Amino acid sequence: MAERLVFLTGHLAKARLERLLAGLGETEFSWEIIDIGVKVAALMTEEIIKRRLNMPEGADRVIVPGRYRGDLDRLSAHFNVPFVRGPDEIADLPAFLGRAGEPPDLSRHDMRIFAEIVDAPMLSVAGLLARARVLVEAGADVVDLGCLPETPFPLLGEAVRALKAEGISVSVDSANFEELKTGAEAGADYLLSLNEETLPLAFDHPAVPVLIPSVPGDLDSLGRAIEAAHKAGIAFIADPVLDPIHFGFAASLGRFIEARRRWPDVELLMGTGNLTELTDADTSGITAILAGLCSELGVRNVLVVHVSPHTVRTVEEHDLARRILFAARADGALPRDYHPGLLQVHDRKPYVATLEDIEALAASVRDANFRIMTAEDGIHIFNSKGHAVATDAFELFAGLGVENDGAHAFYLGAELMKAEIAWRLGKRYAQDEPLAWGVAAPAPEADRTRLAEAGHTLRAKKGDK
């Protein structure tokens, strides 16, 4: 029997929601729309829903707009029907409902993130702990203490013990045998980067070695280290080493493919920092591509580096990428419509309403409050007195009649400029909402109902002047 979904909405969105759901054609669920009696869906409150909703018989789930920020568990308990938060925009419902009405499950992954503190010898133990906590919060599974050539690290052992005491998994990355030994004796979980010559260090300690070729680019020497680790009966991870662009990048991709062909069951690691750090490009796209390569090849460990300011969110990007790729691989699907967090500068669907939708909405407005929307042809601003469109926010201001009202002018100026930025970049704009930059600049969770109410109150006060 088909699942019965109930969609709660407000006056202004009901017609669009009906058209969208009707346009889905045959679905694995039946649906009903209920206008809860507010103009804007974001203004729904728990009390309004409890008071006004007459639950249809046979309802299996209730989908509330994404901008509703109330407690869904209390509503579910009150009506004895599960309440689910849908997407912010109606335009995103097809993706949300694409898997039999279920949002994608991004709770799972199979990739371990090593996050390197590259200047570890220069920091105090307290400084290392503080940095490690931030990395773990961002999604790191292992904090890597990166040692520096010809730079003493007298606090290495103490640092490893301090991190372990906080329950943080630790790796030590050094070309110095004594530093690796110190890390191993202090209880490090992993040792990077051992080769066939330094591998015996791992025979006497429980730390898992990450093996690299003893000669750069030489898979045969990596193979000898792998064989020695197998004979010793110890766990290990192999790293064929990813090289920067124009310094062996293409050949190194081939090494990863060849390594997987030679050793189909060996755990592999890819250090993505040679691409993210050493390429002047937004890191989210680079991360997505490399995570996709790892997903196809079964590379379940990545070493992530953040040194350059442009890589400030690279751990968060890897964390999201591994979840998106895991879900897409499990679904046998392209990595699309799972999460927008890696779409930071542009959006795949920047316009949530068509020109026809905006024209219909503008024609229905009966008050002086300004509404601002974007479409392919530019920025739209309208109220009961008129409807204007332009691609430059400054062109619109002269006709708004707010020159003598500083507060209203400030509000409209800020919103119009935000709309212009969104339109020029091909990003989504929603009035009274911050622009979304994905994991590049995560917005703090807020009481969005309160913010929306504040925005509407300001518009009402100024629009009536």
Cα 210 to the chain's mean position, in Å?
A: 28
Asked, for residue 447, whether it belongs to a domain, the answer is yes
User: What's the distance, CA 19 to chain centroid?
Assistant: 30
Structure tokens at 331: 């679904």
- Whether residues 307 and 404 share a domain: the answer is no
pTM of the model: 0.82
In this structure, the answer to whether residues 142 and 255 fall within a common structural domain is yes
Between helix 125-138 and helix 156-165 the angle, nearest 10°, is 50
Residues 220, 326: one domain? yes
Residue 89: per-residue pLDDT:
83
Angle, in degrees to the nearest 10, between helices 11-23 and 355-364: 150
Give the domain range for residue 202: 112-331
**Nearest residue to 98 via CA among 163, 188, 174, 27:** 27
**Dihedral Cα 442, 448, 454, 456, nearest 10 deg:** 110
Q: How far apart are CA 124 and CA 65, in angstroms?
A: 48
127 and 186 housed in the same domain = yes
Residue 428, pLDDT score? 94
Do both 249 and 371 map to the same domain?
A: no
Residues 120, 36: one domain? Answer: no
Coil, strand or helix: which one is 402? coil
Burial class (CB in 10 A: 0-12, 13-18, 19+), 179: buried
pLDDT of residue 457: 43
Helix (H) or strand (E) holding 390: strand 386-390
Q: Does 240 share its domain with 379? A: no
Q: Does residue 346 fall inside a structural domain? A: no
* Within a domain: 343: no
Number of H helices, E strands in the chain: 16, 15
What is 111-160 written as a DSSP string? Answer: -EEEEEETTGGGS-HHHHHHHHHHHHHHT-SEEEEE--TT---TTHHHHH
Last residue of one domain, picked from the residues 61, 96, 131: 96
Give a yes or no: residue 285 inside a domain.
Answer: yes
Q: How far is CA 431 from the centre of its chain?
A: 22
348 part of a folded domain? no
390 and 313 within one domain: no
Containing 269, the helix (H) or strand (E) segment is strand 269-271
CA 379 from centroid of its chain's CA atoms: 27
- Decide: 394 and 380 in contact? Cβ < 8 Å: no
Choose one of 331, 366, 399: the last residue of a domain.
331
Q: Is 128 in the same domain as 177?
A: yes
Alpha carbons 452 and 429: distance in angstroms, whole number: 14
Regarding whether 153 and 219 lie in a shared domain, the answer is yes
pLDDT in single tens digits along all 465 residues of the chain = 688 999 999 887 888 899 888 888 778 889 999 999 887 777 789 999 999 999 999 999 999 998 888 899 999 999 999 999 998 888 888 878 875 456 778 999 999 999 999 999 999 999 999 999 999 999 999 999 999 988 999 999 999 999 999 999 999 999 999 999 999 999 999 999 999 999 999 998 999 999 999 999 999 999 999 999 999 999 999 999 999 999 999 999 999 999 999 999 999 999 999 999 999 999 999 999 999 999 999 999 999 999 999 999 999 999 999 999 999 999 888 898 889 999 999 998 899 888 988 998 899 888 999 999 999 999 999 999 999 999 999 999 888 999 889 999 999 999 999 999 999 999 999 999 899 999 998 776 544 433 344 444 444 444 443
Same domain, 204 and 314: yes
CB atoms within 10 A of CB 90: 22
Residues 81 and 135 in one domain: no
CATH number of domain containing 146: 3.20.20.20
Residues 6 or more apart in contact with residue 357 via CB below 8 angstroms: 16
In a domain, 338, yes or no: no
Query: Left if phi > 0, otherwise alpha if psi is -120 to 50, otherwise beta: which for 298?
Result: left
**For the chain, how many structural domains are there in total?**
3
Q: Is residue 339 part of a domain?
A: no
Which CATH number characterizes residue 23's domain? Answer: 3.40.50
Q: Is residue 13 part of a domain?
A: yes
